[in-house]
Amino acid sequence: MTPIQASRISQKQRKKPGFLSDKLPPGSIQRKIAFGAGIPLLSLLILYLVVDNIVMPVLTRHGSEFELPDFTGRSFVEAQVTLKDLDLNFEISSEEYSPGEEKGVILNQFPLAGTPVKADRTIKFVVSLGQKMLPIPDLAGLSVRQAILNLETAKLELGEIAWAFSDTLPERVVVFSYPAAGTEIPLGSPVNLMVNRGRASNFTYMPKVMGLTLDEATKRIEDKLLKVGIVTPRWDENYLPETVLEQSEEEGTELDVGTEIDLVISTTE
């Protein structure tokens, strides 16, 4: 006897239920809303993940950072080679005079060394102009006091004072400076003076001894044919013991040979 086969109607009834059909029956409003809103949201989520994890890292070169080297103290010309190898841009933001540093040496940089950077970043530098050179003013014919003031105005310092004795040159004035007037020397350098005393006399000039040790000050005073007078100690922890803090006569003052010079020196006791 031939077995009874299920009708097509019965087969359709035994068909497996669809996705979430138990909770969202086919054709229901809930199912339409869920699929209508869920699919766009899922698409946006996938798009976000793709952009955040693939597209943005490529655009921003995520993970390609490296520490910026320290260029300070190096020649700017030399630094340019390294900067180009690292695919970094560069510019000089300013130039400054710097005692003790050669022209073209990098004094500062921004960003600072060790900062994480990426290729194409612009690095700014402060570069040395070297030692500032200043011309010596013409001091011939001036009094010693005026010559000192002119040197201070020119940001130079008084060096040694020597004197000559001549009846043919103006008396008690600077005959010349050495180095000579017009010579360019570094900022703050000393300038020595030759002063005419006229006929041989018993006059001399007060040297600068502040900041020297007592022994150094004594030698400099005696070299000018002067004497050390009263030495008064004063407590001052900012200086080494026996450092001259004050002198009784100003630098460049005209004095009789043998004049006593009083000093105030530091002590820490």
Determine what percent of the chain is predicted with pLDDT higher than 90: 51
Name which residue leads in pLDDT, 2 or 185. 185
Give dist(CA 240, CA 265) in Å, integer.
10
- Closest alpha carbon to 204 in 145, 140, 260, 253: 253
Contact at 8 Å (CB) between 209 and 220?
yes
- Closest alpha carbon to 116 in 80, 62, 73, 76: 62
Name which residue leads in pLDDT, 42 or 112. 112
Quote the pLDDT of residue 1. Answer: 46
Give the model confidence (pLDDT) of 198-240 as tens digits. 766 677 889 999 999 999 999 999 988 899 999 999 999 889 9
